[in-house]
Amino acid sequence: MTDVDAERAIRANWQAQLTGMDAADTELLAAQFTPEATLRHMTGHVQALDDWMDGIRAGTFVYHEVLPRTVDVTVDGERAWLTGRILTGHRADGRGQTWRLELDQDFSNVDGRWLCTASRVTTW
């Protein structure tokens, strides 16, 4: 797989993550991560993938209209890094609060699939 192919696969993974968050589709979302992946929230709390998915299913984590803004990918062999910026929380009816989130993610090529191994969330 070339670096160009890897970048395409990672960008497709990113888009699937955004779709999964927007639709609260935990099956689609979890499939983009390794089982041992972690999410570090902007508060510094580190959460296991299963706990994050449980929070989405329970309605603790609700993403409204996940809107991608920028994404940058760097590939180095079997590892890669993604930095993506999104807006979420805004609703078409004007309710809610818009969150400007930046996600820094680590990726590994696992049996030919590029999967996220860690995600760190901050604001921008």
Residue 105 is encoded by which pair of tokens? Answer: 């993610």
Give kind and range of the element (H or E) at residue 52: helix 49-58
Per-residue model confidence as pLDDT tens for the chain (124 residues): 799 999 999 999 999 999 999 999 999 999 999 999 999 999 999 999 999 999 999 998 888 889 999 999 999 999 999 999 999 986 667 677 888 999 999 999 999 999 999 999 999 9
Q: Rounded to whole angstroms, how far apart are CA atoms 37 and 20?
A: 16
Looking at CATH, the fold of the domain delimited by 3-123 is given as: Nuclear Transport Factor 2; Chain: A, (3.10.450)
Tokens 């508060």: give the residue. 43
Burial 28-49 (b: 16+ CB within 10 A, else e): ebbebbbeebbbeeeeeeebeb
pTM value is 0.93
Cβ pair 100, 87 in contact under 8 A: yes
